[in-house]
Amino acid sequence: MSIKTKYEILAAELEQQGIDIEAVRTTLKSQKIETPSWGYANSGTRFKAFPWPGAAVTTHEKLDDAAMVHKMTGIAPSVALHIPWDKPEDGDYTAMREYAEGQGIILGAINPNVFQDDVYRLGALGNPDPAIQEMALDHILECCEIMTKTHSDILSLWFADGTNYAGQDSLRLRKHRFEQGLRATYAHLPAHSRMLIEYKLFEPAFYSTDLPDWGTSYAFSLKLGDQAQVLVDLGHHAQGVNIEQIVTFLIDEGKLGGFHFNNRKYADDDLIVGTVNPFELFLIYNEIVDAMQCGEEPAQTTAQNIAYMIDQSHAIEGKLAPMIVSVLNCQEAYAKALLVPRKKLATARAEGDVMGAHLILAETFRIDVRPLLAVIREEMGVPVDPIAAYWASGYEEKIRNKRGIAATSGGYQ
């Protein structure tokens, strides 16, 4: 049976359930997933970074790789930068932006690095030393200036700040220092941009983390204003946390700014999106689509302006192919979420039909959306099978021969 025939059968079945398949196709074609520059470089665990033949070192190489992922998928048009990892030697960010645009992509979120230098051993904005606090703030404000040159509208903030031992520092004063630093950053944001505040339960700090959970980031964003929102990294929670409930709360409050998509089994594993728990990824997208289609303001507007970004550490599986898989898994989860029969689901909920409501979601998750995605890709002019097309393109062999095995990471280890 041909893909077109499979699609026609699927479309007929969905239309019988009240799904507007044309609207679904239009929505999927507008999907955007941002890939990270550092995902194309060598990276690893605290114990070892395994070099990968052809892994990018320079920012231009990372942009080339990001452009290839977009060429294969059609829905990855931007790449996030990490400063100073992606700082051009000549300081010309305008030239970097123009190079990216020449490759068919744009520059996305700017991510300051205030965790890698030796001076940040006791933290950045939370550091007890005012001089180090100022150093960290100066770098973040520099990134605000970079945003104007790269035409970026997202400042993505993650901090490694915290303590390892009880009594090491005043938790209350660390909170005050963070509030002061975030307020100064907010005051320097470019117009029409957003500041996304990420959080993490633990690591590298183990006794306390200055931004440990979504509630802390939410509280700071409320104090700062409308341009401040929360960034949800899927690996930054305790085991068993209901991430989709967090997503729903933040959307409903107008405070979900974006995601760092990855997957985990134990802690912040930074694995390929959707590989460990694809049902969770579907449920997250389901809550987003529900807010888009059924929510009231500010939920609808918030859901339509989420920044979807991938943040992974490809330690043993290669670079571009895993990134393509992540993008495709996001596309599949979104497609399935768009196929949920929401009126039917609402009726089951209103009638207290517990099993019926659950099975509506479970059965939608089981739908084979590959024929639908194949038709969409064909219409968009991208490969129907992006992974097969990537391996057939010769790009992997080309970069392996040209770049070899890098002696440096070009990103974090």
Q: Compute the chain's Rg from CA coordinates.
A: 22
Amino acid at 306: I
Condensed to tens digits (0 to 9), the pLDDT of residues 357-403 reads: 999 999 999 999 999 999 999 999 999 999 999 999 999 999 999 99
Nearest in space to 260 (alpha carbons), one of 242, 247, 276, 248: 247
Tell me what pLDDT residue 326 has: 98
Question: What is the mean predicted confidence (pLDDT) over 318-322?
Answer: 97
Q: Is the pLDDT of residue 270 over 60?
A: yes
As a whole number of angstroms, the distance between CA 340 and CA 363 comes to 9
Q: pLDDT value at position 172?
A: 98
Length of the chain measured in residues: 413
**How far is 157 from 183, CA to CA, in rounded Å?**
13
CA dist 127 and 385 (Å) reads 49
Give ∠ CA 314-248-238 in degrees, rounded to 5. 50
Per residue in 95-107, pLDDT (tens digit) is 999 999 999 999 9
Give the pLDDT score at 408: 60
Q: Do residues 77 and 70 touch, judged by C-beta distance below 8 A?
A: yes
> Tens digit of pLDDT for each residue in 15-36?
999 999 999 999 999 999 999 9
CA distance 114 to 140: 8
Structure tokens at 100: 């990216």
pLDDT one-digit tens code per residue, 234-248: 999 999 999 999 999
- Is residue 41's pLDDT more than 80? yes
pLDDT of 296 strictly over 90:
yes
pLDDT surpassing 90 at residue 410: no
Please say if the pLDDT value at position 289 is more than 60.
yes
DSSP 327: H
Residue 70: how many other CB atoms lie within 10 Å: 24
User: Residue 257's closest CA among 310, 211, 218, 313?
Assistant: 218
Class of CATH domain 32-339: alpha beta
How many CB atoms are located within 10 Å of the residue 112 CB?
A: 24
* Cβ–Cβ < 8 Å for 285, 333: yes
Among the listed residues 144, 141, 128, 109, the one whose alpha carbon sits nearest the alpha carbon of residue 39: 109
Residue 413 confidence (pLDDT) above 70? no
pLDDT at position 120, please? 98
- Element of type H or E holding 307: strand 307-310
Let me know: does 376 contact 25? Beta carbons within 8 Å: yes
